[in-house]
Structure 1
């Protein structure tokens, strides 16, 4: 398990770590997936004191956190872990299915999921 995130003191370091962990090898790849210019995104990853640096604010932390599947609080402030309160893709699928189901079906679905978790599955 990657625990290198524990030693990242600055928001720009945490952002870079999150981008790389999410599979975006370059700032350009991340910026394209976010629909922004490379220079705009890169400014968030620049070290303070460098030219053309942009400090991370909570709006961008939320946007980048969603994209890179990390906690925006951790990204912005270093609070908790990158995974605090972040849903996995599977959890997101279950939540979407639940929210799309009629209200009367949601209880049945919840009980079915709970039963599956209690008994376990083999594939």
Structure 2
């Protein structure tokens, strides 16, 4: 198992590593799939001392985490591993709410969510 990720102390390093492990060989390929300008995306992979560097914030970490299939908390803070739970904060809220109701109610909620998602 590749443990290179455990040596990455900066968010920009983690973003780059996540992109590569997700199969995006270039910043351009990642930016296209994220519907971002290449320069905008690339700024997240630059060290702070570099020109046009951008620090990672919560919403971008969530977006990148989803796309690269890694933990957004790991991307942002370096806590845990990239393979920890990759749910978003919204998914965490739904899971917490579902845990407070019985199984029959959970089934009704799940059906309603599925219907909403299908409706677009």
Shorter-chain TM range is 0.7 to 0.9
| Structure 1 runs, 4 residues or longer, greater than 6 Å off | none
CA-atom RMSD, angstroms? 1.6
Task: Give the aligned partner of residue 9 of structure 1.
Answer: 9
Cα distance in 2 for partners of 1:103, 1:63 equals 28
Gaps of 5+ in 2: 88-105, 111-120
Q: Deviations over 1:28-55 (max 9, x none)?
A: 0000000000000000000111111110
TM-score by length of 1: 0.70
Aligned-partner SS, 1:28:
helix
The count of corresponding residues between Structure 1 and Structure 2 is: 91
Gaps of 5+ in 1: 88-101, 107-123
Structure of larger gyration radius: 1
Within 5 A, what are the aligned runs for 1:84-123? 84-86=84-86, 103=107
TM-score by length of 2: 0.72
